[in-house]
């Protein structure tokens, strides 16, 4: 039975905690074009929340003549350089809620399909102790939308997955968290979350506090598809 208060809150990174999706998209187009291909905004949207290895194979199919690890490294380097130049763009309310959860003593984990070196680079830019652990794309064999990343985070934290809340922005991420058994707070960014099974959909995390997260967890499943 789901505990009325979450024992941990599990955060997606790209598009949820930080608005890095435009940086990824900006790196993808020149990569494909450098091999004589074309890359549309619609194609880029299909990759939101997808594991980097799966995304790399899509780039190979689009004509990028590089290995999967080379594609991942190239994109990660470009995104990190872009963030270093422009700063980390937190999504509205995300930093404040994360800080409030930490102050309340609720364990938190970052569950991202970005490589660990990128995740740690983002976390290192935070000016507070934000996460108990990181589960990154290179830490699991099966990426989102499989449940493995969230199951691993709960296991490492020593909590029952049904007692956790996941915060996600993408359909693949939501499906991963739902399949794992989390209460899922969906905060759509570039792609709609309609029909993904998320427990609740919020337009923004601005002004969302610890008590709100606890309430949504306690009411799990009662407001699926509701926009706050």
pLDDT tens digits, residue range 84-118? 888 888 999 999 999 999 999 999 999 999 999 98
Query: In CATH terms, are 8-19+89-218 and 21-86 the same topology?
Result: no
Instruction: Using a pLDDT cut of 70, give the percent of the chain over it.
Output: 95
Beta carbons within 10 angstroms of residue 95's beta carbon: 18
8-19+89-218 maps to CATH 3.40.50.1000: yes
**If you average pLDDT over every residue of the chain, what do you get?**
91
- Which two structure tokens, joined as six digits, stand for 99? 């800080």
What pLDDT, on a 0 to 100 scale, did the predictor assign at position 83? 87
Residue 4 — very low, low, confident or very high, per pLDDT cuts 50/70/90? low
For the chain, domain boundaries: 8-19+89-218, 21-86
Q: What superfamily in CATH does domain 21-86 come from? A: Putative phosphatase; domain 2 (1.10.150.240)
3, pLDDT greater than 80: no
Helix %, strand %, coil % of the chain (to 5): 45, 10, 45
Strand partners, 90: 18
Given pLDDT bands bounded at 50, 70 and 90, which one contains residue 223? very low
Cα torsion at 51, 30, 116, 43 (round to 10°)? -20
pTM to 2 decimal places? 0.85
Between CA 95 and CA 206 the distance in angstroms is: 9
Give me the DSSP letters along 91-119: PTTHHHHHHHHHHTT--EEEE-SS-HHHH
Both structure tokens of 156: 């490492």
Task: Report the b/e string of 190-215 with b at 16+ CB within 10 A.
Answer: bbebeebbbbbbbeebeebebebbbe
């Amino acid at each position: 039975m789901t505990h009325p208060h979450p024992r941990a809150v599990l955060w997606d990174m790209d598009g949820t905690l930080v608005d890095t999706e435009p940086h990824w998209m900006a790196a993808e187009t020149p990569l494909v074009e450098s091999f004589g291909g074309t890359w549309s905004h619609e194609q880029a949207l299909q990759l939101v929340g997808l594991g980097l290895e799966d995304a790399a194979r899509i780039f190979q199919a689009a004509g990028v003549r590089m290995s999967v690890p080379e594609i991942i490294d190239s994109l990660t380097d470009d995104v990190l350089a872009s963030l270093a130049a422009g700063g980390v763009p937190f999504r509205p309310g995300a930093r404040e809620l994360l800080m409030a959860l930490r102050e309340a003593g609720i364990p938190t984990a970052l569950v991202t399909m970005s490589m660990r070196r990128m995740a740690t680079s983002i976390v290192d830019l935070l000016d507070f102790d934000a996460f108990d652990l990181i589960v990154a794309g290179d830490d699991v064999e099966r990426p989102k939308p499989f449940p493995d990343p969230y199951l691993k985070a709960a296991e490492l934290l020593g909590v029952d997955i049904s007692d956790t809340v996941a915060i996600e922005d993408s359909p693949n991420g939501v499906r991963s968290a739902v399949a794992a058994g989390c209460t899922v707070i969906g905060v759509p960014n570039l792609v709609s979350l309609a029909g993904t099974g998320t427990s609740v959909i919020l337009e923004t995390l601005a002004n969302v506090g610890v008590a709100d997260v606890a309430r949504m967890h306690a009411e799990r499943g009662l407001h699926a598809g509701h926009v706050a």
